[in-house]
Amino acid sequence: MTPAGTAHILTAARAWLAQDPDPETRQELDVLIRDAEGGSEPALDELHSRFDTRLEFGTAGLRGRIEAGSARMNRVLVGQAAAGLAAYLAEREPDARPSIVIGYDGRRNSRVFATDTAEIMAGAGIRAIVLPRQLPTPVLAFAVRHFDVSAGVMVTASHNPPADNGYKVYLGGADEGSQIVSPSDAEIEAQILRVAASANVLELPRSTDYETADETVVDAYIAATAAVMTSEPVPMEVVYTAMHGVGWETFSRVVAAAGLTLPHSVVAQQEPDAEFPTVAFPNPEEPGALDLSYALARETGAELIVANDPDADRLSIAIPDASSTEGYRQLSGNEVGALLGWRAAVLNAEQGNAGGVLACSIVSSPALSAVASEYDLDFVETLTGFKWVSRVPNLIFGYEEALGYLVNPRTVRDKDGISAAIDFLSMACFLAGHNLTVQSALDAFAEKFGYFASDQLSLRVTDLSDIAAIMAHLRANPPAELGGVGVETIEDLRDGFGDLPPTDALRFRLTDGSRVMARPSGTEPKIKFYLDVKRPVERKDEASVVLAAVKSDLSAIAAAATA
């Protein structure tokens, strides 16, 4: 480390310390600075990790580990983000007083970050409304439209590890309560950087003259979401887990309003707990996350397991399966998406509606396209991320394979794990009323549309440069075959493709009609491969063989690229 490099990083750290309002992160940073001044190389390395870059405000907002530093999530960064967003809103609406609604979940510092945002917004002349308490992300998305405000902020890190928190932004008006997309993200980021370069967070104008919404907004969300229930309720043994998040209280009230039987709740995961003590990762997709749900389901003889992630915008479903060691099988996001999409198409036809659109992200199964074709609906593929799915015009249903579903686009313009759960329970009640099961519906789907099988290879990295190396290797040395099947075409989406905006992804189409997508994760240090195979139902056993062989080849390619 050169003396100049050491001096530069110490200057940046001291400047940050001088404007940090959080005693905990101040103390932590003060110790690091003093250790670095004393010549500690580990302390210097840690300072570089925290100050060489900064969390970029992208289309996913902000998300990172709660620690001091520009590359972490903390009150300084949130203050800069709030002031930058306030300036953006004022510039966007020069002839009116902009407004914003702010929500927060049960993660560490969520309420603190929400309060900082409200005070800075109010200090900047923005009308600020804070939701009455910690609530699911879908309630905030609903509130943007309910209050007809200019924007919304949700403080959450969704299903990220316990040490993380985040900051998600929605826009009202013509954006109809959807999450931000380009160019809004870049314009907000420019304002944030301007604030960071020119203002001390402690000196930003603040005001406590903000509003706290009453419970009527929650009541309105519950009523609108309960209306998703269109089937006659049938008594059913259901297990529910909130995954230590904020879903249970709202979900249970919606269940009651919909006339459904209250599910058995996994008590150890029922109440918000920022430490997430019973799971390694608070994500229903992660191995082990549903272990307590399986145990309770076996105990109660449950016909269905319903799981939300910590901010309740995602939904996972598991069904009885005698062949599984757990006694239950977790459905993939694509299986749930296919069933809910089919249900949406049928209901749309029964209601006599002409047209409409089914939509999913590019990494989701092609099965939804088959449904749309069968029911004379349009089908749209979007970039990954629900901010794109939710913006599709004339949408009647949209989903992404990462457990995100939008079943009521007239109410919420984001994925909603609570309304999706009610829709799934409504379908399950309909099936039960005809002596059928969810597995029966999956079998019927395969008979009608073909057997679609999906899998995913997700490689977590410790060095982010490995992700770029793997993508570069795939572009420079594209495989001629995957899993013993020839690669017919390769579509590089980096420069856009068809109606899709540019994104860092590759799509491999194989000669047997299979498809492989490769893309870096937008929220985690992972590269993901999405595999989809279709076979006639009588040859469905072939699908698992192809998927396993393709995964093996991709693993070998990734290992070679990072060797």
Give the tens place of pLDDT for each residue, 453-503: 999 999 989 888 999 999 999 999 999 999 999 999 999 999 888 888 899
Share of the chain above pLDDT 70, in %: 99
Alpha helix ranges (H) inside 434-477: 438-449, 465-476
372, 358 Cβ separation under 8 angstroms: yes
Whether 46 and 131 map to the same domain: the answer is no
Share of the chain above pLDDT 90, in %: 93
Q: Using the 3D structure, point to which of 173, 193, 214 is the last residue of a domain.
A: 214
Q: How far is CA 464 from CA 66, 160, 267, 516, in A?
A: 19, 17, 37, 22
Whether 192 and 274 map to the same domain: the answer is no
Token duo for residue 301: 């003889």
pLDDT, residue 1, reads: 47
Distance CA 309, CA 108 (A): 16
Phi then psi dihedrals of residue 502, to 5 deg: -60, 140
Whether 209 and 315 map to the same domain: the answer is no
Query: Hey, is 423 helix, strand or coil?
Result: helix
Whether 161 and 236 map to the same domain: the answer is no
Averaged confidence pLDDT in the chain? 95
pLDDT, residue 523, reads: 67
Residue 244, Ramachandran bin (φ over 0: left; ψ between -120 and 50: alpha; else beta)? left
Whether 19 and 38 map to the same domain: the answer is yes
Q: What is the pTM of this model?
A: 0.94
pLDDT, residue 496, reads: 87
pLDDT tens digits, 298-320 = 999 999 999 999 999 999 999 99
Whether 432 and 288 map to the same domain: the answer is yes
Q: Using the 3D structure, point to which of 449, 482, 500 is the last residue of a domain.
A: 449
* Burial (CB count <10 Å: 0-12, 13-18, 19+), residue 382: buried
* Bond into 23 cis (ω within 30): no
Whether 130 and 66 map to the same domain: the answer is yes
To the query of whether residue 158 is one of the catalytic residues in this protein, the response is: yes
Closest alpha carbon to 249 in 230, 212, 228, 222 = 222
* Catalytic choice (99, 110, 158, 369): 158
Whether 432 and 413 map to the same domain: the answer is yes
What are the DSSP calls for 105-160, one per residue? -SSTTHHHHHHHHHHHHHHTT-EEEE-SS---HHHHHHHHHHTT-SEEEEE--TTS
Whether 442 and 477 map to the same domain: the answer is no
Q: Using the 3D structure, point to which of 159, 182, 214 is the last residue of a domain.
A: 214
Whether 271 and 420 map to the same domain: the answer is yes
Whether 161 and 252 map to the same domain: the answer is no
Token duo for residue 415: 């994925």
Distance CA 56, CA 62 (A): 7
Confidence check: pLDDT of 413 > 70: yes
pLDDT, residue 524, reads: 75
- CATH number reported for the structural domain that contains residue 210 in this entry: 3.40.120.10
Whether 386 and 500 map to the same domain: the answer is no
Could you give the angle at the alpha carbon of 548 between the alpha carbons of 542 and 549, nearest 5°? 90
Distance of CA 461 to the CA centre of its chain: 20
What are the DSSP calls for 1-32, one per residue? --HHHHHHHHHHHHHHHTT---HHHHHHHHHH
Q: Are β-strands 506-510 and 485-492 bridged in parallel, bridged antiparallel, or unpaired?
A: antiparallel
Confidence check: pLDDT of 545 > 90: yes
pLDDT tens digits, 91-120 = 999 999 999 999 999 999 999 999 999 999
Distance of CA 278 to the CA centre of its chain: 21
pLDDT tens digits, 46-102 = 999 999 999 988 777 899 999 999 999 999 999 999 999 999 999 999 999 999 999
pLDDT, residue 498, reads: 85
454, 528 Cβ separation under 8 angstroms: no
Instruction: Say how many domains are in the chain.
Output: 4
Q: What is the band of 354 on the pLDDT scale with cuts at 50, 70, 90?
A: confident
- CATH number reported for the structural domain that contains residue 545 in this entry: 3.30.310.50
pLDDT tens digits, 127-145 = 999 999 999 999 999 999 9
Domain that includes residue 94, residue range:
57-214
Token duo for residue 313: 């915008």
Token duo for residue 270: 């029922």
427, 304 Cβ separation under 8 angstroms: no
pLDDT tens digits, 252-302 = 999 999 999 999 999 999 999 999 999 999 999 999 999 999 999 999 999
pLDDT, residue 4, reads: 56
Token duo for residue 501: 């905006």
Q: What is the band of 525 on the pLDDT scale with cuts at 50, 70, 90?
A: confident
pLDDT tens digits, 212-234 = 999 999 999 999 999 999 999 99
